[in-house]
Structures are given as C-alpha cells and as structure tokens.
Structure 1
Amino acid sequence: MSLYISYGQEVMPVAQITATITDAADIRALDCVMPDYIKVSRLSKRLAELMHLPPVGPDDYPINYGLIIKGGYLLDPEATLAETDLPKPLTLRIVPEIAAAQDEIDTFGEPMTGEEDESELDEFEIETGEQIALIHDDILAARPDVRIDAAVHKKIEAFARKDRHTECAGLLLGTVDCEDTATVIHISAIAPAEAAEGTRTSVRLTLEAWESMLWVRDHKYGHLRVIGWFHTHAGWGVFLSDPDVFIHRHFFPHPNMVAYVLDPTSGSDGFYFWHEGKISPCPNYGLVGTADEIQLHKNETQAKAARGRRPDLRDAIIGLLVLLVLGLGFAAIPLGRAHHHREKPRQRTAAVKPPEHVKDKPAVTDKPAPPADKTYAIASGDNPWSICNRIYKNGDLGTALMRYNGLPPNPRLSIGQQIKLPSKEKLEKLAGH
C-alpha cells in the first residue's frame, strides 16, 4: 500500500524506512517500519515509548533521546530520514541524554517547554513487530563472579585522574561465561565517555558522548558486549545515588550487567550488581593480570592507603578554619575541667592494673594452647561469603573473617593474596553469635 502526504496543493508519496531498533546496551531489539518525513527528534521520542523507555528522568525533566546508526554516527535531530544517507540494512540504537549525580541533579540547559510547531503535531504511525532478546545467558539468578583486567582497571583510574574533582563515566565491555554454577562477568575493555559533561557532583551522558562510546564499542571491541557502566564520585565516596540507580535500572537492566563506582580522590571503589531484583553492592571482585601487574596494583593500593587523601587548597582552608574554631572552643574551657580530662587516662590505667594476689596463683601448664590460625591463599572466584560457606559451612561469617584480617567487609581480593583462617569458635565470637 502506498502512502502520501499533502503539503497544501502538493501531494507527495511517503517512503517507508525499515529498520531494527536496539537499546543503548544491545539488550533487546525491535523491527519497525517508519515514515521518512518525520524529524529524528520526534521519531526518537516515539521509539522510546515503543521500547518502554522512561519519558522523564529522576529530576522530572523529559529525557531527550537520540538515534545512532550502529557502527556509525548520531542522526541530526532536526533532519528527517529522507534527508539522511542511511545504510541498508539499517540498525539504529536509541540512546538517552541523562545525568548521574549526587541525588540533586545539576541542570544543563533549559527545561523543555512542551511547545511544538504545527508540523510536529501531525500524527504518524510506526509499524512494529515483537521485541526480541539479543542476550541469551544460561545463568541469570546466580551471584556473579566479577573480574576486571588489571590493565583495564588502570585505564579507568587514569581516565578519572585527568581531573579527579570532576566526575566522568563510560561503558564496561567484556564477556559473560558460566563456570559450573557461577556466572563469570569479565571486564576486558572500556569505552570512556570523552564527550560527557562533568562537574564536581555530576556527569551528563550527552548524545554526543553516547556516539563516541558506541563508536569505540563497535569499531575497537566489536567482539565484546556491553556488560555495564562506570562513573566516578569526586570525593563523595562509593555508593549509588538515586539518579545512578535510575540509570542502571532503566538502561542496564539485564541481570548480568554491573555498575562500577570509583572515587579517585581516595582510591576507594566498588561494583554493584543485580540481586533478587535489587541493585546491591558486590561483595568483592577479582583482578586479572600477570604476577607483576597484580603486585604493582597491590603496591599502589598500599601506597594510597599510607599516603591518605592529599587535600587540595579548598580542603586545607576548611581544615584550618575547623582547627581555629576548635581552638577557640577549647580556649574557653575552664582550666579545672581541662585538668580533670587530663587526669582520666591515669585513673583508667590504674583501674586495669592486675590485683596483687594474681601473682600468687600457680601457673597452669596443662592447659592446651589455642589452635594456630591457618593460612589461606585467595583463589579464582573467591569472596568472603564463599570462603566461609566452604570452610566454616556458614557464609554469614564472611564479614567477621574480613574484620579478623583487618580488611573492610567487601574488600578487593586478589588471586594469591593470603589471609588468616581462625577457628570457627573464634570467628563466631567475633561475629557475636
């Protein structure tokens, strides 16, 4: 059936464009037939609805969507498909312009007013087929074993250090495989968002940023798939804000997709994964590389921990002001009260002195010595929960085991790293069981 469009007295035939539409992360696709006379900006909005993508962001501003030719360029939002040189067959990715921010999103530009010219009020139809899945993983419900190449981890750190007080972002690329009953998510490349607009509290993934990221993904790492995204927090610590969760939930919703957060000012980082329908912190992740790369990373991590955060001028001024206020406050305290506080440590020391009669007790020589701690070397796929579940038959002791070794609850464990294994009784006591 032929279609026509009338411009006053002139009647022109309408060409139909056949295309496959995919989301930004290549999770699902939709075959469709579209008219060629509609502006790309309007087509993007309608296609977002058909792909069940959110119309507004967490800031209640309408999301601006764009179309990018797979392996090609971003379509001009003001042009029509008839005015664009399109390849055949045609695959278009629909991408959002959206910001990851610290809860209250910085506004870039003016909000949409909802005003449209008369030509944009014309009705048009897009014929579609059924949505099809592009990812077919065998295991979806298992806790993932997240691994990242040491060289890739270093690239993210270097990208973040370009301006550690400005947030940045990018795509995580790699493979997903099954080992026994575990899902191994292996990150072996990144596509940094070089064109993103960052501030100290947010990073906006513009349509141009998506264009550059997907070009890298298609031309350099076409054999890899998108398995998540990363972004930095410039001094805010490691967590997912509400806007971050919104992005992951709507644009990286596959169960085997992860989010990585790095705070370059402190070196702290962490992964987040899908667990029972919720986005949860990943217990740990593995670093993959040569022995030299692993050792270098370990040395750098220890150096960062020893050096601590290096304050900038702003932090130093704030610190001096705090010390000045505290100094004035202490100067106002009566000397008697200050003397009383100085005497407390001496009183506390005297109170814990052993009683004299303890010396007269005979030494006990037949009491067995407590069992010595065993040493355990971290293997591939290990995390605190799996280690305790296998050795102590209780994975919930993982946090206590890490505390016993002087590590955080969800540390970055490297293959070959050695930890101490105390008795189960000692660990249960430490855990308060």
Structure 2
Amino acid sequence: MSTRIKIIGIAPPTIVEAPMPLDDSLRWNSTHENNLAPRAHVFLPQSAYAKCVTHTKSDLENEVGGALIGQVRIDPNTERQYIFIQDILPALYTKAGQTHVTFTQDTLVHLNNEVEDRFPRQRIVGWYHTHPRLGVFLSSYDTWLHHHFFNDCTQVALVVDPYHEQGGFFVWQNDCELDPIHYTGFYEWSDVSDDSVIEWNNLTPQVDEAALELA
C-alpha cells in the first residue's frame, strides 16, 4: 500500500448502553477463533453486509476500501462491550492498484462530510478493504495503518477477498495486540431476512444454542 494513505482522525468512542441483539443474530466462526481473545465482538447487520459485498465485488483486479460506521455498545446485563456496525461508506476518489488503495484528500473530505451529514449519532468504528485473490490477512502496512489510525480497542479492520468470497475481522486482543494473520468471525444481525445472507465460504455458522452465547 502507498504511504500516502491518510485516515480520518478518530474521536474517543461514546459508549451506548444496549443489550446484545443475540436473539436475532447468527454467529459465524473462523477457523482461528481458538487462537484469539478479542476485546470486543462484532455485530454486522445483513443490510450493511450486502452493501459491503456489492462494493468489494465491484473490482476484482484492484483493491477497494471504505469506512465502517456504527456504535460501540455495552450490554447492561453482562457489561460486555461490542461493536455494532450499522452501515458502510465506500471510499470514493481513491487511487488503487492490485496491492494498494490510497485514500486521497478528496476521499477524506467526502467521508467526513458523509459521517457528519448522514450519521450524526454514529462514528467510524473501523475500516475495510479488499485483497483480490490474495486471501484474508493484514499486510505489514495494513498493520501499521491500524496501529496508527485505529488504535482504540474498539476499532476493527475487515479484509475481504472478493475473488475467493472470503472475509474476516481483525480485532484488538485482550493483551492489546493485533494479530495480522488470525481473524475472527462476527454475529450476523437479521435486519433483512430470517435466513442467512452470508456468502463468505471461510466462515462457519454456529447453529446450536451456544451460537447465541459469548465465549
């Protein structure tokens, strides 16, 4: 990735008190779950997932990216924090290639304006980008970027390989480390359909009763 990438400055999160929507969610696990101890779990509505898939599939040759918009929440019953991604913002006016995506000044202005105008009660809770044909991981520069611009413990990175239909979240761990190889799954929140809409084939649904319980 180009070192010209800049990301919007992130304000400290305002934590919203709300029960985890477990009854309307399906847990999707990665094969790396046993190696991880995430500081926060991720909830992704079907509507936001669909927008993400549309954008990440829009170019199978070059990287695309954007911002994840949502809230940091805490369950009053369990006192567990979680990240609720309510929408995505595709990054426009970027410069991209097969192994990089550059957020230009016009990109940052657009993202700032969109957040202020459309999402006054939300914040940027992370970012996403694609690795066409390369798999799901954080490169050394991705890791540097996350450490410098998304270093709040509630901010996540979503990496998608649209060619192989794979995706996963990279989340800060309890030891304040970021694992660039082992990614976690998420909770699919059913805001569109009672049936799952997830296409990523590297994740497995947890369908028994334990699916709606946090480890």
> Do they fold alike, i.e. is TM over 0.5?
yes
Residue 164 (str. 1) matches residue 64 (str. 2): no
Instruction: Please list the CA deviations of residues 110-149 of structure 1 after superposition, one character each: whole Å capped at 9, or x if unmatched.
Output: xxxxxxxxxxxxxxxxxxxxxxx743559xx973111111
Q: By how many angstroms is 1:154 displaced? A: 0.8
Q: CA deviation at 1:189?
A: 0.9
Q: Which of the pair is proportionally richer in helix?
A: 1
Unmatched segments (≥5 aa) in structure 1: 1-57, 67-92, 96-132, 306-374, 387-433
SS in 1 for 2:212: coil
In 2: Cα distance, 1:172 partner to 1:263 partner: 17
Distance 1:187 1:267, change over 3 A: same
In the alignment, the residues of structure 2 paired with residue 199 and residue 245 of structure 1 have an alpha-carbon distance, to the nearest angstrom, of 19
Distance 1:64 1:231, change over 3 A: closer
Structure 2 counterparts to residues 226-265 of structure 1, below 5 A:
226-265=124-163
Q: CA deviation at 1:378?
A: 4.6
- Corresponding residue for 2:44? 148
Q: Say which of 167, 172, 178 aligns to 1:279.
A: 178
By how many angstroms is 1:379 displaced?
3.7
Amino acid at match of 1:233: H
1:248 CA drift (Å): 0.5
Native 8 Å contact 1:172 1:228 kept in 2: yes
Offset from partner CA, 1:272-320 (integer Å, 9 cap, x none) = 1111121134432101014x6352515x457x99xxxxxxxxxxxxxxx
- The alignment status of 1:201 with 2:99, answered yes or no, reads yes
- Greater RCO structure (CA 8 Å; 6+ sep): 2
Change (3 A) 1:161 1:240: same
State the alpha-carbon separation in 2 of the partners of residues 94 and 185 from structure 1: 19
Aligned length: 187
Greater Rg by CA: 1
Aligned to 1:295: 195
Counterpart Cα distance in 2 of 1:224 and 1:188: 8
For residues 50-97 of structure 1, the C-alpha deviation after alignment (integer angstroms, 9 at most, x for no partner) is xxxxxxxx97x6x5879xxxxxxxxxxxxxxxxxxxxxxxxxx769xx
Q: Which runs of 4+ in 1 moved over 6 A?
A: none
Residues 71 and 122, structure 2, Cα contact 8 Å, conserved in 1: yes
CA-CA distance at 1:163 after TM superposition: 1.2
Classify the secondary structure of the residue corresponding to 1:278: coil
User: 1:160, 1:243 → 2: CA distance?
Assistant: 20
What pairs up with 1:20-419 in 2 under 5 angstroms? 134-135=12-13, 137=15, 143-179=39-75, 180-275=78-173, 276-280=175-179, 281-290=182-191, 293=193, 295-298=195-198, 300=199, 376-382=208-214, 386=215
Identity, % of aligned pairs?
Answer: 24
State the one-letter code of the partner of 2:13. I
Check conservation: 1:164, 1:234, Cα contact below 8 A.
Answer: yes
Distance (whole Å) between structure 2 residues aligned to residue 65 and residue 192 of structure 1: 15
Contact 1:196 1:203 in 2 (8 A): yes
Q: Which amino acid aligns with 1:293?
A: S
Q: Note the alpha carbon deviations across 1:361-382, whole angstroms, 9 max, x for none.
A: xxxxxxxxxxxxxx82354354
Instruction: State how far apart, in whole Å, the 1-side matches of 2:195 and 2:157 are.
Output: 25
Question: How many angstroms apart in 2 are the aligned matches of 1:204 and 1:284?
Answer: 26
Check the 8 A contact 1:143/1:182 in 2, yes or no: no
Q: Which stretches in structure 2 are left out of the alignment for 5+ residues?
A: 17-36
In structure 1, C-alpha distance between the alignment counterparts of 2:92 and 2:157, rounded to whole Å: 18
TM score, norm. by length of structure 2: 0.75
The residue type equivalent to 1:157 in the other structure is V
Contact 1:286-1:381 at 8 Å conserved across structures: no
Q: Give the whole-Å Cα distance in 2 for the aligned partners of 1:301 and 1:94.
A: 31
Taking structure 1 as the reference length, the TM-score comes to: 0.39
C-alpha RMSD over aligned residues: 3.0
